[in-house]
Amino acid sequence: LPSQAALGCRAAQVLMQYCILANHYWFLVEAVYLYKLLIGAVFSEKNYYRLYLYLGWGTPVVFVVPWVAAKYLKENAEVRIMARVGVLGYVCPCPISPSQINLLIFMRILKVILAKLRANQKGYADYKLRLAKATLTLIPLFGIHEVVFIFATDEQTTGILRYVKVFFTLFLNSFQGFLVAVLYCFANKEVKSEMKKKWQLWKLDH
């Protein structure tokens, strides 16, 4: 490739890896935030807001910069979109830690929800259904679907399993933001009430 085209491809690959990591770490921010709300905290949200920003946007830089340096020094022969097997291939594209932490928080939150539903079992006769609903709702918010294929790399999956992995990974990652917006924003009673007010005001004005 011409030098300018190769530079553009490398910049696009670095940006892609940063966005992938930022996506995973914002999963972690969402999990920590919800866990703090459910478990209770002594500190105000104002004390944590800057920390959330650093965790979501700053932490990926800590992994991307060494990965870029390693790629530049050791694998700078050509642009590679798919990670190779080896240390350099997994420094950046495989963020195991956020997914594992999210899984632990996910299990802890489900335990808290189950305990609260059981405590109010008389008021919630369908507490098992509510627990299942909460579980399915939290999966896209925490990115738990990432854990399913986290150890199934492209080199280890072949045939139909590889197609299944690619389909679910692309589908869930592509619609994760949409699912979170629908479940936690547009389905919220307060949000729907405000949208209804805005719609009524718009109709009166027109």
User: Structural domain tally of the chain?
Assistant: 2
Nearest to 93 by CA among 175, 169, 178, 4: 169
pLDDT on residue 167: 83
What are the angstrom distances between the C-alpha of 63 and each of 88, 91, 121? 12, 7, 46
Nearest to 98 by CA among 140, 41, 40, 147: 147
Q: Are residues 122 and 58 in the same domain?
A: no
Instruction: Flag whether the pTM goes above 0.75.
Output: no
Burial of 184 (0-12, 13-18, 19+ CB in 10 A): middle
CATH of the domain at 163: 1.20.1070.10
CA distance from start to end of the chain: 57
Cα(15)–Cα(185) distance, rounded to whole angstroms? 28
Q: Are residues 71 and 103 in the same domain?
A: no
Q: Are residues 130 and 79 in the same domain?
A: no
pLDDT on residue 57: 92
pLDDT tens by residue, the chain, 206 residues: 677 787 888 888 889 889 888 888 888 888 888 888 777 654 455 567 888 889 889 999 988 998 888 888 877 655 554 444 333 444 454 545 777 788 888 888 888 877 777 777 666 566 666 667 777 777 777 777 667 666 666 666 777 878 887 787 778 777 777 877 887 788 888 888 888 999 999 988 87
Q: Are residues 200 and 127 in the same domain?
A: yes
Q: Are residues 76 and 123 in the same domain?
A: no
Query: Which residues span the domain enclosing 50?
Result: 1-91
